[in-house]
Amino acid sequence: MCLCTSPIWYRKGGLEYARLLGDSIHQSLRDEYNQTLEDFRRDQERYEMDKKVYQKEKSAERTPPIPPTTPPQLMLFIPANNSKTGLYQNLTENSERGIMFETEGDTLADAVKQDYAGFTDLLRNAFHHERCTFFRRANGGEYVEVSRPYLSLVLSSTFDQLKSLMPTAENGLFSRFLFYEMKSSSEFRNVFDKRKRDYAAYFGELGQGFKKMYGHLHALTEPLYFDLTDHQQAAFVKLFQAWKTELREYVANDLDGTVNRLGTICFRVAMVFTVLRAFDKNAIKGPLLCNDEDFENAIRIVETLKTHAVRIYNRLPKPAPTADAEPVGSDPKREAQKTKCRELFAQGKSCREISTIVFGDESKKSTVYRWTH
């Protein structure tokens, strides 16, 4: 689950290019649905005619006609503008898999608020592919179960839209999301740049490659097994333990869940890289073992995402103000302290050392961490 935040005036249309990576898969599923829908309508007409004949003859020897089954709504991209029952139906009709992809985060936030009981529980459970159940009383009662939901989310929003979806960091969704905070630029964007005209074609072509890989993986009768090497596993555990200790000391214990799930995400990113590499070499067969390059790249990506998660955490409302909370307004002395802290950090000083140099003791190490990360 990923969410990109940006100022309200920032153009988020570039995210649409990422959607093109899955568009050909989505379109092929929609085409398949439309074909089965045509077949269903013909079968429905035939059924109605057979039913009239059966009712007219009323023969005990004649077998009553069987109505055709409504075809499932096949899709890759599941609309965020949805209800709880709709989302459960979309998943059950698509092998419990799907992607929500929205460039306006409030589309999902509004849907969650308006729907009775909401469906954030399903979003939370889907992160770990945990079983979800739902019962509705209409039509004599219906029990719906999604045994292993595989639901991905890609959202972009302003910070206010983000707060509408997850008002605080204690919201269960926070630790399950990857955050990336876009910064605005003072540079005027060249709308006449000819290089950008080929973006759609480029990503569309990449999408065709993903469609081939999707078809190959979808046709497998047995799941692929993926793993890290022994030295990668040792480095993985050591790194995430260090991150947990770091964030506990300098930020808050509230981020324990974020670090734990960043570990899960890092493993998944390494797995995706490994499958992509295997597909390029025409060697998708298990077991797949991660190479060091893919492992290091996954670590670098998640390390950046950790930094952005801390930034978003520090901006979200807290149950009570901290002792070193940022004051409102610009303070020249404080700005000078920030500058000094960042200079010392660039020189390789630790947050404890910087706090002692700038503030006289270690008590402000959390503030130093927030200013330098």
pLDDT tens string, the chain, 373 residues long: the values are 888 887 766 666 678 889 999 999 999 999 999 999 999 999 999 999 988 888 888 766 778 889 999 999 999 999 988 888 889 999 999 999 999 998 887 788 888 777 555 788 888 899 899 998 888 777 677 788 899 999 999 988 888 888 888 888 887 888 898 998 887 777 777 777 777 668 888 899 999 999 999 999 988 888 889 999 999 999 999 999 999 998 888 888 888 888 999 999 999 999 999 999 999 888 788 789 999 999 999 999 999 999 999 989 888 887 654 545 455 455 777 788 888 888 888 888 888 888 888 888 877 777 888 778 7
Domain span holding position 277? 222-315
Q: Is 197 inside a domain boundary?
A: no
267, amino acid identity: F
Instruction: Read off the amino acid at residue 164.
Output: S
Q: How far apart are CA 176 and CA 2, in angstroms?
A: 9
Q: Is 282 part of any domain?
A: yes
- Token pair in block for residue 255: 């981020």
Domain boundary among 289, 315, 341: 315
For residue 340, give the nearest of 319, 354, 325 by alpha carbon. 354
Which helix (H) or strand (E) segment holds residue 256: the answer is helix 256-280
Domain identity same for 228 and 180: no
**Does 123 share its domain with 175?**
yes
Rounded CA separation 186/291 (Å)? 40
Residues 241 and 267 in one domain: yes
- Give the pLDDT score at 67: 92
Q: Is 214 a member of any domain?
A: no
Looking at the fold, whether 155 and 289 belong to one and the same domain comes out as no
Is the separation of the CB atoms in 32 and 86 below 8 Å?
A: no
Q: Both 22 and 98 in a single domain? A: yes
Counting beta carbons within 10 angstroms of the beta carbon of residue 154, is it exposed (0 to 12), middle (13 to 18) or buried (19 or more)? Answer: buried
Count of the separate structural domains present in the chain: 3
**Residue 323 has what pLDDT?**
47
Question: Which of 163, 184, 205 delimits the end of a domain?
Answer: 184
Do 253 and 364 fall within a single domain?
no
Separation of alpha carbons 33 and 56, rounded Å: 34
Has residue 262 been placed in a domain? yes
CB atoms inside a 10 Å sphere around CB 93: 16
CA distance 272 to 274: 5
Exposure class string for 173-200: b at 16+ Cβ within 10 A, else e: bbbbbbbbbbeeeeeeeeeeeeeeeeee
Same domain, 270 and 232: yes
In this structure, the answer to whether residues 343 and 292 fall within a common structural domain is: no
CA dihedral 315, 321, 327, 329 (to 10 degrees): 60
Residue 195 forms part of a structural domain: no
Statement to judge: residues 141 and 249 lie in one domain: no
Residues 161, 53, single domain; the answer is yes
In this structure, the answer to whether residues 18 and 142 fall within a common structural domain is yes
Q: Which amino acid is at 80?
A: A
Is there a domain that residue 240 lies in?
yes
Q: Say what the pLDDT of residue 328 is.
A: 45
- The whole-model pTM stands at 0.79
**345 and 278 share one domain:** no
Residue 119 lies in a domain: yes
Quick check: is 257 in a domain? yes
